Amino acid sequence: METGRHPGEAGFVAADAQYLACGGARAAAVVAADAAFSRLAGDHIALVPDVAPYQPGQFYLRELPPLRAVLDGLTGMTLLVIDGYADLDPDGRPGLGARAREELGVPVIGVAKSPFRGATHAVPVLRGTSARPLYVTAAGMARADAADLVRHMAGRHRLPDALRRADTLARRGLPQPS
**pLDDT tens-digit series, residues 66-121:** 999 999 988 899 999 999 999 999 999 999 999 999 999 999 999 999 998 889 99
CA pair distance 167, 83, nearest whole angstrom: 9
CA pair distance 158, 137, nearest whole angstrom: 16
User: Does residue 56 lie in a domain region?
Assistant: yes
User: Does residue 177 lie in a domain region?
Assistant: no
> In this structure, what CATH number is given to the domain that contains residue 12?
3.30.2170.10
User: Does residue 178 lie in a domain region?
Assistant: no
Q: What is the pLDDT of residue 56?
A: 72
Say whether pLDDT at 4 is over 60.
no
User: Does residue 52 lie in a domain region?
Assistant: yes
Helices (H) and strands (E) in the chain, counts: 4, 8
User: Does residue 84 lie in a domain region?
Assistant: yes
| 0.85 surpassed by pTM | yes
User: Does residue 119 lie in a domain region?
Assistant: yes
Q: Count up the domains in the chain and report the number.
A: 1
Percent of the chain exceeding pLDDT 90 equals 75
β-pair type (134-139, 123-125): antiparallel
**pLDDT, tens digit, for every residue of 143-158?**
999 999 999 999 999 9
User: Does residue 133 lie in a domain region?
Assistant: yes
**Structural domain for 67, as ranges:** 2-172
